[in-house]
Amino acid sequence: MSAIAVESPDSALLFVDNGLKHRRSSTILNPRSYLMDELWRQAPVLTGSTNFEPLKDAKNIFITGGAGFIACWFVRHLVLTYPHYKIISYDKLDYCASLNNTRILDGCPNFCFEPGDITDTKEVKRMLRKHKIDTIFHFAAQSHVDLSFGNSYAFTNTNVLGTHVLLESAREHGITRFVHISTDEVYGDVPIGAADLSETSLLAPSNPYSASKAAAEMMVHAYRKCFKLPLITVRSNNVYGPHQFPEKIIPKFIMLLQRNSKLIVHGDGSPTRRYVYAGDIVDAIDTIFHKGDVGQIYNIASKDEVSNMEICHKLLNMFNLPSATAEELEQCIQHTEDRPFNDQRYATDGSKLAALGWQQKTDFDDGLRTTVDWYKRFGEVWWGDITRVLTSFPVVEGREIWTKEEHEALPGDGEAVSDEDMDEMPWTKQALDHLQHSPTTER
Identify whether 185 is a catalytic site residue.
yes
Distance CA 133, CA 126 (A): 10
Q: Which of 327, 238, 310 is nearest to 269 (CA)?
A: 310
Judge whether 240 counts as a catalytic residue: no
Residue 98 CA, chain-centre distance (Å), reads: 11
209 is a catalytic site residue: yes
Q: Inter-axis angle of helices 249-258 and 308-318, to 10 degrees? A: 40
Tell me how long the chain is.
443
Asked if 300 and 238 touch (Cβ cutoff 8 Å), the reply is: no
What are the residues facing 306 on neighbouring strands? 273
Q: Quick check: 196 and 349 in contact, CB under 8 A?
A: yes
Q: Could you say which of 82, 85, 90, 209 is catalytic?
A: 209
Give the burial class of 42: count Cβ atoms within 10 A of its Cβ; 0-12 exposed, 13-18 middle, 19 or more buried.
exposed
8 Å CB contact between 236 and 184: yes
Catalytic residue among 91, 185, 217, 343: 185
User: Which residues, listed in sequence order, are joined to residue 181 by a DSSP beta bridge?
Assistant: 234
Q: Give me the phi and psi of 62, to 5 degrees please.
A: -100, 120
Among the options 91, 123, 146, 184, which is catalytic? Answer: 184
What DSSP state is assigned to residue 339?
A: P
Query: What amino acid positions are annotated as catalytic residues?
Result: 184-185, 209
